Amino acid sequence: MRAEHHGIINRYFNVLSSPQRYDEKMDEIRLDSVIGEGKINRLITHSGIECIESNLNFNKRRIVSFQSNAAMVELSFCFQGNAEVCVSDSAYELEPNCCTLQFMKDFQVSFDYGSQSKLQTMAIGIPLFLFDSYMQEVGGRTKTSFADILGTRSFRMFRTSIGPETLQILNQLRNFPSSSSMRRMYVESKALELFSLYFESLLFERDQKYRPSRLSRSDRDKIKKAEELLLSHMADPPSLIELSRMCGVNDFKLKIGFKEQFGKSVFSYLRDKRMEKAWSLLRFENMSVSQTAQIVGYSNFSHFAEVFRKSFDCSPSDVRRERHKQHIVIKP
């Protein structure tokens, strides 16, 4: 059972990289120039947790399909690019800033990658025995297991966005020196930290999420409008009073309602979204630090750098340097 999810990944690699054959002992696979350019890095820890980072650019549309009788639990993060994914009778779109927690067994899967599609993702798999072991240790909760979650289905997915806390952990995970003798231990610790966050938020009920709402449907619509206005005016956001007037709700209800719907204050939410956008611009769009700061609404570059460092435990310049270090160009 420990090696089931490794076999699924091997199948994917072999279909993706055909006619090149993948050897499980390899920790890196490069695309054949006929397919495109880029590489996939793979690391398996001593407990069997598997971390896969992909940085790919396809020359033309490519469909990767295979069937497996094995089972797996996987966290998947998409930083850049899009793809259509079909698993058994379910379909979803892989898109930036998206995280999925997936459970599958006895399934058919198909990945549809578009032409000139740049794809940057990270996937982390955990062995079933380890997942079930941790689930049995969750004190004070209804005991659960892989079989309980999946039931009679072959596939089940939980989907959410990638938040600042997650981005910080992913940044630490991706930037840890590959030559370090402690890399496997470090990757395992960060992977377990991510699993802990998402198991808690997606699989178990948090009390505050299930308190009766004090908002009417009309109020919730207005709070949603406030969020949309904040994001569309990120560089020059309205004040709280202005925002409440624009949404047609008083400022007290806006503050209370926003915290209820999004789990944080209006401007904490805005700060986090600014930082998420800044990370994306620096990492994927080749923007300078000064350009990025202005786009997300910071005129004081030092203040921007300070907030960024508090959010991600690294400087904006570190992210730009990492982008250039990992930029891959493979000539046929």
Task: Report pLDDT digits (tens) over 275-287.
Answer: 989 988 988 887 8
Looking at residue 209, the DSSP 8-state letter turns out to be: G
User: Worst-scoring range by mean pLDDT, 216-220, 228-232, 323-327?
Assistant: 323-327
pLDDT value of position 228: 92
pLDDT value of position 331: 34
Query: Do residues 14 and 83 lie in contact, with contact meaning Cβ atoms separated by under 8 Å?
Result: no
What average pLDDT does the segment 31-56 reach? Answer: 89
Quick count: other Cβ atoms within 10 Å of Cβ 66?
A: 15
Q: Contacts for 294-302 with beta carbons within 8 Å, 24 or more apart?
A: 294/235, 295/235, 296/234, 296/235, 297/234, 297/235, 297/236, 297/237, 298/274
Looking at residue 46, the DSSP 8-state letter turns out to be: T
Quick: pLDDT tens for 89-112.
888 888 888 899 999 999 999 999
pLDDT reading at 188 higher than 90:
yes
Burial 179-201 (b: 16+ CB within 10 A, else e): eeeeebeebbebbbebbebbbee
pLDDT band, very low/low/confident/very high, at 210 (cuts 50, 70, 90): very low
| Between residues 130 and 256, the one the model is more confident about | 130
pLDDT value of position 22: 52
pLDDT value of position 20: 54
pLDDT value of position 328: 40
- Report the range out of 211-220, 244-253, 323-332 with the highest average pLDDT: 244-253
pLDDT reading at 4 higher than 70:
no
pLDDT reading at 127 higher than 80:
yes
User: Under CATH, domain 4-204 is a member of which superfamily?
Assistant: Jelly Rolls (2.60.120.10)
pLDDT reading at 246 higher than 50:
yes
Between CA 106 and CA 116, with CA 112 as vertex, the angle to 5 degrees is 150
Q: Please, what is the average pLDDT of the chain?
A: 83
What average pLDDT does the segment 301-326 reach? Answer: 84
Chain-centre distance for alpha carbon 307: 21
Partners of 68 in the β-ladder = 107
Quick: pLDDT tens for 138-160.
645 556 789 989 888 999 999 88
Sign of CA pseudo-dihedral 44, 45, 46, 48: negative
The CATH label, of 3.40.47.10, 1.10.10.60, 3.30.420.40, 3.40.920.10, for the domain at 209-326 is: 1.10.10.60
Between CA 32 and CA 38, with CA 36 as vertex, the angle to 5 degrees is 80
Q: Report residue 33 as tokens.
A: 């120039």
Bond before 127 cis per omega within 30 degrees:
no
pLDDT band, very low/low/confident/very high, at 187 (cuts 50, 70, 90): very high
Quick: pLDDT tens for 298-308.
999 899 999 99
What average pLDDT does the segment 290-312 reach? Answer: 91
Question: For the chain, what are the domain ranges?
Answer: 4-204, 209-326
